[in-house]
Structure 1
Amino acid sequence: MAKKPKSDPNYKVIAENRRARHDYAIDEDLEVGIVLMGSEVKSLREGGANIAESYAAVEEGELWLVNGRIAPYAQAKTWGHEERRKRKLLASKRELARLWNATQRKGMTLVPLVLYFNHKGLAKMKIGIAKGKKHHDKRADAAKQDWNRQKARLLRDKG
């Protein structure tokens, strides 16, 4: 997860896909840039974004964010942006090839995890190479969380 460093005044999490780690087993994650219009950046600075139902895809040698929502910016009436347009994600050719190979494997997908401004003030997105969890996997994870919670409680009460 993207955590806020104490010394970076520009670092700000805009949107987080909280269900991603519940619904998917994340193998690895990657930080990519995102191509935005001016009104989209202004809207993001106000915190108007949702990446919960979006996904990333490699199409024709380029990486795209599909179905990500950035709220319209009120002051950009004439030159505004479309809310749910496909947005290009920036990654190197080597990373693109690796992502494409990963998604060709059975059940693997690219899931947006966090959209944020980094310490330089640039909009970045963390995407994860993930495999969908089955119902029994989710149950096992919940049982593991419960056990860890009980274990911490027992250690706290004992000491």
Structure 2
Amino acid sequence: MKKKNDENVLATNRQARHNYEIEDTIEAGIELQGTEIKSVRAGKINLRDGYVSIKNGQANLSNVHISEYKQGNIYNHDPLRVRRLLLHKKELKRLAKEVDQDGMTIVPLKVYLKHGFAKVLIGVAKGKKNYDKRESLKQKELKRELQRNFKLNQF
């Protein structure tokens, strides 16, 4: 049986977990225009180069590409526009405090629907060095190998 959240996931940023070490995650609402939500529901969203910046007490999602809606005609949106994230003031202050530390950034991890509203899961992350990435790949390969051996020995 699938989890309720998993079947509503519209886009994931798989590259983020490879390039960053995720310290903390927060769910945020995302302010979208009329044709944007239609494109998001169709899964026409790319989170790969996205990041979150906090300025003037607001969190903004940048570099996230939401394709234009086919039937949108003249009312279509700009695919790369900056979108506001909806967070509580306490969460914004905490995020701003964490990002002020050296090497910390905020990246979008996935976009999903929850009760009909588009939500984005953002993560406070620290960038990995190349040797950290190689180490992560080695650990992942070792874990896969152990799973294979366990599965073969089980039968």
Query: The TM-score by the shorter chain falls in which range?
Result: over 0.9
Alpha-carbon distance, 1:154 to partner: 2.5
2:52 to 49, 52, 56: 56
Q: Are 1:23 and 2:19 an aligned pair?
A: yes
For these two proteins, the number of residue pairs brought into alignment is 154
Judge which range, 17-26 or 149-158, deviates more. Answer: 149-158
CA shift in 2, pair 1:7/1:98, >3 Å: closer
Alpha-carbon distance, 1:9 to partner: 9.5
SS in 2 for 1:77: helix
TM-score (norm. length: structure 1): 0.90
Higher helix share: 2
1-structure distance, mates of 2:79, 2:59 = 19
1-structure distance, mates of 2:74, 2:6 = 29
* Equivalent residue runs for 1:1-159 within 5 Å: 6=2, 8=4, 11-118=7-114, 120-159=115-154
2-structure distance, mates of 1:158, 1:75 = 55
2-structure distance, mates of 1:113, 1:23 = 12
1-structure distance, mates of 2:60, 2:5 = 29
Which segments of 5 or more consecutive residues in structure 2 lack a partner in the other structure?
Answer: none
Q: 2:9·2:113 contact (CA, 8 Å) conserved in 1?
A: yes
Give 2:48's aligned amino acid.
A
CA shift in 2, pair 1:80/1:134, >3 Å: same
Alpha-carbon distance, 1:156 to partner: 2.5
2-structure distance, mates of 1:10, 1:135 = 31
Which segments of 5 or more consecutive residues in structure 1 lack a partner in the other structure?
Answer: none
Q: 1:10·1:121 contact (CA, 8 Å) conserved in 2?
A: no
TM-score (norm. length: structure 2): 0.92
